[in-house]
Amino acid sequence: MKLRSIAATAVLFATGIAGGYVAQKAVPSQYRDKDKQEAARALLEVARIQAGDGSWERIAIGRIYFLGGSKPEGQAIFDSVLKDDPEASDLFRIARVYREAGDWEQAKALFERSLRENLKDSKGMAEVGAYYLLAGDRASAEAWFDRSFKRDDELWSTVAAAGAYLGVAPQE
């Protein structure tokens, strides 16, 4: 009797592990022959498992929800990252999504908060300056460029500034 109980437990354990493994891996049945929304949702659920507690990973998933037409789900992910004392880089990544979505005011607030927390981010300063310029605020843009170049004349900062003068957003 005891042997059967051990065998049954082993089968259940193995089945659980196999099920968990499949859930962490994208498989064709999740996206093939599905409509785009259904395929995306199935893959995003797998991605959520794969992401674990990683903030950058969760932000990437939130970005897809937010920009893909499910803003409330994306915002919920961003809110969960923001409530856990986020790193400056987390703030910057979420701000990029807001800017990409066309919400400059919300993006601007997070960009500025990020740069207040990371005063050495010369590349970020130039990127934010580029976004200001693209939004039509040249004076603020050039103030950010000045701060960036004063800290470090880094190639990516220079490229971000140059591109903005030509209407090209920084490469993220």
In a 13 Å sphere around the CA of 94, the CA atoms on its Cβ side amount to 28
Residue listed under structure tokens 């090209």 = 168
Q: What is the Cα–Cα distance from 53 to 73, expressed in whole angstroms? A: 17
Neighbouring residues of 37: CB distance < 8 A, sequence distance ≥ 6: none
DSSP letter string, 44-68 = HHHHHHHHTT-HHHHHHHHHHHHHT
Domain ranges (residues) in the chain: 120-172
Give the residues of the chain that fall short of pLDDT 70.
1-23
Express each pLDDT in 8-38 by its tens digit. Answer: 444 434 444 444 444 588 899 899 999 999 9
Task: Say what the pLDDT of residue 23 is.
Answer: 58
Q: What is the Cα–Cα distance from 45 to 166, expressed in whole angstroms? A: 39
Full-model pTM: 0.82
